[in-house]
A = this chain, B = another copy of it.
Amino acid sequence: METPMPLTPATGAFEARLRAILPAAAFRDYTDHYRLEPRGSYRGADALLVAPADTGQVAAVVRACHEARVGVVPFGGGTGLVGGQLMQGGPPPVILSLERMAAIRALHPAEDVLVAEAGAILADVQAAAARAGRLFPLGLASEGSCRIGGNLATNAGGVNVLRYGNARALCLGLEAVLPDGSIWHGLTRLRKDNTGYDLRDLLIGAEGTLGVITAASLRLFPRPASETAALLAVASPQAALDLLGLASETLGGSVSAFELMHRNGMVFLAETMPEVRLPLDPAPEWSVLVDVGAAAGLDLDAALEHFMEAGVERGLILDGVLAQNAAHRAAFWTMRETIPEANRRIGSVSSHDISVPLGALPEFIARADAAVTALGPFRINCFGHVGDGNLHYNVFPPQGASAAAFAAQRKPVKMAVHDLVHALGGSVSAEHGIGRLKVDDLERYADPARLAAMRAIKAALDQHGIMNPGAVLRAG
């Protein structure tokens, strides 16, 4: 594998060439919307912003970049948390925004399939499915602004992975422009297709480094006929895990979400947003939000009652509230979904999006708490998708202090958490991806044979290293 030549800046002659092949409407101002990292940590360096109107224009841009060796950074909703959509330096790239390709191309309710362009906002995809009486179950805090192409490029997770899988599991087919500008027409609606290598799952999660997703055929589901939720106090993470086992036994596939929350989440909400209602007051040290939904023929209330009774009997549920109606259930979720905003207002020293094998969750929490508090007087807000073994393990300054005062501890805290995750067979990026911020982590923790295979695949599909340079893999 030879090192690719340095990339050409998307300025001067190259910019003129693009302006000659694309209509004027494709060129947009490179404003802060595109330039700012969503947590405000830094600004992207100079770039040329283009927003093609169709797949043919995307292919024309990529082909030109391939020929001239210009970097291409695909841009969805700009909500990624690992810098995959932003370059902080290097020869100015083309930022290729999918925002003008936001159509729902087709809807097949009887097949439970929807075909969306990459720039469709996630909430719009959900709404289109809902209008057809169907459910598109991908759901995340940023669903009002993130775009489905970005969700797929980063294999987004969210709260319903337990039941419906992550973005990869929700995608049947892709249309994509490959790094040489060729178009892969792969918008299949098939549930089974064993004809060769799984290029779909390779592009999903590749964060735009192997091509640009331009459209996707997505799996829909029947909307549950009945839905409800319970907010339950549990004694410990181990009790939460045992309760998850009980839920799986008694409720089976009806469990849509199983979220663990530490008391500090509620403490932070009370500190920063006292208007948000806390359904369990005083907040227990650990609580679990269980969300369930079932088809018309199944009696969900009876099943949930059965689960709650067994949970109390086994000593797993200490206290709890069952949602009395849809508004009550929504209040549980508002609390859960507002925790990230409370975290943002407090300001973290270091945030970690980790996963470990389910059985190792209690050990992880105990050992990470010990390791982190040994490094300073930190407050830890640990919450997440316990059904997926996925925790957002975030470290904050003590009350009244600012994160800036602990800047020097940021790296030791992160290393302590990540090293422990790795020792337990876990992942240092469960949901968010590698982007540019976790490239070092990938190099530190990835299996060497796999990393070598990744580099070989990248070099084979993107000979000039133009696609999202420096994301996932260090630029050559």
Contact = CB atoms under 8 A, between A and B. Distances in A.
Interface of A: 108, 110-113, 154-155, 157, 161, 165-166, 168-169, 178, 182-186, 188-199, 201-202, 204-206, 210, 222, 224-225, 241, 245, 248-254, 294-299, 302-304, 306-307, 355-359, 385, 387-390, 425-434, 438, 441-442, 445-454, 456-461, 472-473
B306 A302 contact: no
A185 B297 contact: no
Given A195-B445, A456-B461, 20 more contacts: A168-B201, A178-B453, A183-B449, A184-B450, A185-B449, A186-B447, A190-B355, A191-B387, A193-B429, A194-B434, A195-B442, A196-B472, A198-B205, A225-B249, A251-B295, A253-B254, A254-B295, A297-B307, A298-B299, A457-B460
25 contacts: A108-B359, A110-B245, A110-B358, A113-B357, A168-B201, A178-B453, A182-B448, A184-B447, A188-B427, A189-B358, A191-B358, A192-B389, A194-B430, A194-B432, A196-B446, A196-B450, A196-B451, A198-B201, A224-B252, A225-B249, A252-B294, A252-B295, A297-B302, A297-B306, A297-B307
A456 B447 contact: no
A57 to B, nearest CB: 17
B297 A355 contact: no
A112 B162 CA distance: 13
7 smallest CB-CB distances across A and B, nearest first, come from: A252-B295, A460-B460, A297-B303, A201-B201, A253-B253, A250-B297, A193-B427
Nearest to A157: B192
Given A108-B357, A251-B295, A197 B205 contact: yes
Contacts of A306: 296-297
Contact of A196 (B165, B430, B434): B434
Most chain B CB within a 10 A radius of its CB, from A194, A204, A254, A450: A194
Identical copies in the complex: 2
Contacts of A298: 251-252, 254, 294, 298-299, 303
B111 A189 contact: no
A371 to B, nearest CB: 21
Contacts of A168: 198, 201
B241 A110 contact: yes
B450 A186 contact: yes
Contacts of A254: 252-253, 295, 298
A199 B450 contact: yes
A190 B108 contact: no
Contact of A195 (B185, B190, B428): B428
Which residue of A254, A298, A458 has the most chain B CB atoms within 10 A of its CB atom? A298
Contacts of A202: 197-198, 201-202, 457
A194 B206 CA distance: 9
Contacts of A197: 202, 205-206, 210, 453-454, 457-458, 472
Nearest to A462: B456
Given A198-B202, A307-B297, A190 B449 contact: no
A182 B295 contact: no
Contact of A192 (B294, B431, B441, B450): B431
